[in-house]
Amino acid sequence: MTMIPVYMLLGVTGSMAVTQKPKADVARDHKAGISSSLARIFLTQLDNLNNHTDKQGMPGSRYVGVEGWSSKQVAGWLRDQGFREYVDLLCSKHRLDGASLLCLTETDLRSPPLELKVLGDIKRLMLAVRRLQRQHTALTQSGSEVSALSLIHTGRTDRVISNGFAERGSGDHQHCNGAVTTVGGEHSYSNGKRKQYCVRLDPEYWKTALSALYAMLVCGVTSFVMVLVHERVPDMRTYPPLPDIFLDSVPRIPWAFAMAEACAVVLGSILMLVLLMHKHRSILFRRLCNLTGSVFLLRCVTMFVTSLSVPGHHLQCSGKMYGDAWAKVQRALEIWSGLGMSLTGVHTCGDYMFSGHTVVLTMLNFFVTEYTPRNWNFIHTMSWVLNLFGIFFILAAHEHYSIDVFIAFYITTRLFLYYHTLANTQAYQHSRRARIWFPLFSFFECNVTGPVPNEYGWPFSKPAFMRMLLG
């Protein structure tokens, strides 16, 4: 079955332009359904073009977008444009297909491995490529004129979808607000107004359980390291508090640390509500455990290798020996069960580099703002206020040096942003470099295709009486 490239279809869409209605009427038709007359015109053009191609010995033709072109179709396009001498270089040697043709730039033509030498050919080829790119974009954005057609070829799993492109594949197809996504296929098309993602995201609950176990183990290791560093707290008489601009300038507020933990509790409650209502809660919780566990694992290393002096004279800290190993394990369990919070009666010393409270506040804030809609301005503002006030209260309580808080905030924000940038870049998820340098990321995110959409729904099934009332 021969495929007719989309640039041959441009004549069809051009002939349709004469019969199109004004923009306002077209918008109304798109919402209410394309008129039957427009559909008949388009079908007539398709039949004419099919009859034309059938006479040339190409029965059963179908139309594909530029992105779906094979290297042979790109070679045909190059010949039609008068660049026959470059067919072997671009299509045979470098396997240039439709998707890569749309990404071609003049720099690619001038640089290795292509290194075209004739300036005129470079300019003319780029002019033709840009014209093709504009035509491809125009067809993508004008898909509403033929969205009602959705012609399905019953002989194979080929179909003409809403934006005028044909697609082949064995996967399921999803349509959402003008966007078409192939689950398990190759391409995803949008209506040109707003990029939307309709992919099916596998919750992979077993990976979520592993990430939760990972976070719990890291918390246990952190608690045990906190016991060890408490034994090595420098003597305050020998090592007084280090100079710190903020601590030296702002008087201590006794109740500030409790307020910082209260901010963390409020942020945690908001995030738990978001996780409960989010349709992709499993992926979100997996990312939360993975990121938090990784940051606290790094914190174990930093606070163990370097012991800073106590930041304030109000802290009655001295090296505390716990006798045997069982006593240390019991103390670690107390810290672990109390989440390391003073509100639960846990008081520690020596775990200064870097601030674990700042890590928790910042991580909760970023998850709340990332996985709630952009127009939830009140929630976002409140989240940032709680985060920043929590950090201020930590410093105002003189529980940490300023450098502890700054490093904790920087590491947490950078790790969160890098992680989500890589997670949204599908090409990097399966790369060898990702598997080597980010093994946990590569393992947990290998099946997450693109950004996670913020979709919400009630997590529990409706009771019987509600189903009777609401239907």
**Distances, alpha carbon 250 to alpha carbons 93, 221, 253, 267, 395, in Å:** 68, 34, 9, 26, 9
Q: Using one digit for the tens of pLDDT, what is the confidence trace for 147-161? A: 434 433 333 333 333
Q: Which residue in 324, 400, 420, 430 is the catalytic one?
A: 400
Question: What pLDDT does 449 receive?
Answer: 79
Q: How far apart are CA 371 and CA 365, in angstroms?
A: 10
DSSP element (H, E) containing 4: strand 3-5
- Categorize the per-residue pLDDT at 313 as very low, low, confident or very high, splitting at 50, 70 and 90: confident
Is the predicted pLDDT of residue 316 greater than 90, yes or no? no
Strand positions, DSSP E, 39-80? 62-64
Q: Using one digit for the tens of pLDDT, what is the confidence trace for 383-407? A: 999 999 999 999 999 999 999 999 9
Q: What is the mean pLDDT of residues 292-309?
A: 93
Neighbours of 24 (CB within 10 A): 8
Question: What pLDDT does 370 receive?
Answer: 95
The model's pTM is: 0.59
SS (H, E, C) 406-462: HHHHHHHHHHHHHHHHHHCCHHHHCCHHHHHHCHHHHHHHCCCCCCCCCCECCCCCC
Mention every residue, 6+ apart, whose C-beta is less than 8 A from residue 392: 256
Question: What pLDDT does 142 receive?
Answer: 58
Question: What pLDDT does 359 receive?
Answer: 97
Is the predicted pLDDT of residue 95 greater than 70, yes or no? yes
Please give the structure tokens belonging to residue 17: 């332009």
- Tell me if residue 420 is catalytic: no
Q: How far apart are CA 20 and CA 42, in angstroms?
A: 11
Q: Which residue in 88, 404, 420, 430 is the catalytic one?
A: 404
Question: What pLDDT does 64 receive?
Answer: 58
- CA dihedral (343, 348, 350, 351) in degrees, to 10, reads -50
Question: What pLDDT does 261 receive?
Answer: 95
Position with higher pLDDT, 156 vs 447: 447
Position with higher pLDDT, 372 vs 465: 372
- Tell me if residue 400 is catalytic: yes
Q: Which residue in 136, 278, 280, 357 is the catalytic one?
A: 357
- Categorize the per-residue pLDDT at 220 as very low, low, confident or very high, splitting at 50, 70 and 90: very high
Give 36-47 as a DSSP string. HHHHHHHHHHHH
- Categorize the per-residue pLDDT at 180 as very low, low, confident or very high, splitting at 50, 70 and 90: very low
Residue with tokens 């947490």: 412
- Tell me if residue 278 is catalytic: no
Please give the structure tokens belonging to residue 264: 């963390």
Q: What are phi and psi of 172, to 5 degrees?
A: -80, 155
Question: What pLDDT does 427 receive?
Answer: 61
- Categorize the per-residue pLDDT at 61 as very low, low, confident or very high, splitting at 50, 70 and 90: very low
% pLDDT > 70, the chain: 69
Q: What is the mean pLDDT of residues 57-80?
A: 72
- Categorize the per-residue pLDDT at 232 as very low, low, confident or very high, splitting at 50, 70 and 90: confident
